[in-house]
Amino acid sequence: MQFMIQCFDKPASLQLRMATRERHLAHVDASGMKILVAGPMLSEDDQPVGSLFLVEADSREAARRFIDSDPYVQAGLFERIDIKGFRTVFPR
């Protein structure tokens, strides 16, 4: 199943994001999760304001375990995390 994981940064948390970034990237690389696409969500002035993942996981719970073990989550970066089922339509 595919899932969209949207993570919204707490206000004024860019410094925390940058301090945790290398551990976050290492976690994603080592997680074994099938990442379809991932990256930061950006403000109108191109500053990171959150993270977006499109993943393939066995269940919503597996997607939740993946994100809950992320160093960004462990550091308290996110104000809110939404996990929703997703279905690719394009490209066909």
Confidence (pLDDT) at 92: 86
Confidence (pLDDT) at 91: 87
Confidence (pLDDT) at 51: 98
Query: Could you write out the three-class secondary structure of the chain?
Result: CEEEEEEEECCCCHHHHHHHHHHHHHHHHHCCCEEEEEEEEECCCCCEEEEEEEEECCCHHHHHHHHHCCHHHHCCCEEEEEEEEECCCCCC
Give this prediction's pTM: 0.94
Query: What residues in the chain have per-residue pLDDT under 50?
Result: none
